[in-house]
Amino acid sequence: GAVVSQHPSWVICKSGTSVKIECRSLDFQATTMFWYRQFPKQSLMLMATSNEGSKATYEQGVEKDKFLINHASLTLSTLTVTSAHPEDSSFYICSARDAQGAHNEQFFGPGTRLTVL
């Protein structure tokens, strides 16, 4: 089946630093990748949709200058949390859509737990 990797799995950083999270589709090409954030005991919240070779589309309320997304290839998208603050601590999950898949489903990476001190 389709596999999506995410790196790092967890990161702890000081307030004010920037953190980059990578999302890779390992055995398929993903023209579209999605970035989600999930706070404890809450559902997934879509942050942005990332299309290969074009600018990401951000959901309402998500600061594009704070959450920089780059989708430079068909297998890699990155999310950079700039000047992270404690309120940015969350579980960040990426997913990739397999355009060749039977149901156009999204396959999820294992997630990155970010803790900002």
Partner 1 sequence: GQNIDQPTEMTATEGAIVQINCTYQTSGFNGLFWYQQHAGEAPTFLSYNVLDGLEEKGRFSSFLSRSKGYSYLLLKELQMKDSASYLCAAVDSNYQLIWGAGTKLIIKP
CB of 16 to partner 1, least distance (A): 27
Give 63 or 105: the residue with its C-beta nearer to partner 1.
Answer: 105
Q: How far is CA 63 from CA 15, 17, 26, 93, in A?
A: 17, 16, 29, 17
Give 40 or 53: the residue with its C-beta nearer to partner 1.
Answer: 40
Structure tokens at 72: 């430079």
Give 49 or 82: the residue with its C-beta nearer to partner 1.
Answer: 49
Residues that bind partner 1 (CB under 8 A): 6, 34, 42-44, 46, 49, 91, 93, 103-111, 113
